[in-house]
Homo-oligomer: A and B are copies of this chain.
Amino acid sequence: MKDKLHFIGVIGGSEVSPEIAQLAEEVGREIARRGAALVCGGLGGVMEAACKGAGEEGGLTIGILPGESRRSANPYVQIPIVTGIGYARNVAVVKSSRAVIAIDGSYGTLAEIGHALQSGIPVIGLGTWAISMDGKEDNKIIVAKNPKEAVEKAFSLIGNQE
Contacts and interface: CB of A to CB of B under 8 A. Distances in A.
B86 A85 contact: yes
7 contacts: A2-B73, A37-B79, A68-B119, A81-B96, A84-B88, A88-B88, A110-B118
B84 A86 contact: yes
Given A79-B62, A86-B91, A111 B107 contact: no
B82 A96 contact: yes
Contacts of A133: 105, 127-130
A100 interface: no
Contacts of A79: 37, 62, 79
Interface in A70-86: 70, 73, 75, 77-86
Which range holds the interface residue count of chain A?
A: 35 or more
Given A114-B113, A115-B111, A133-B130, A85 B92 contact: yes
Interface in A109-137: 109-115, 117-119, 127-135
Interface in A1-59: 1-2, 5, 37
Q: Which are the 6 A-B pairs with shortest beta-carbon distances?
A: A111-B114, A110-B114, A88-B88, A107-B117, A82-B95, A107-B118
Given A2-B77, A118-B108, A85 B82 contact: no
A144 interface: no
Contacts of A91: 83-88
Given A131-B131, A133-B128, A2 B118 contact: no
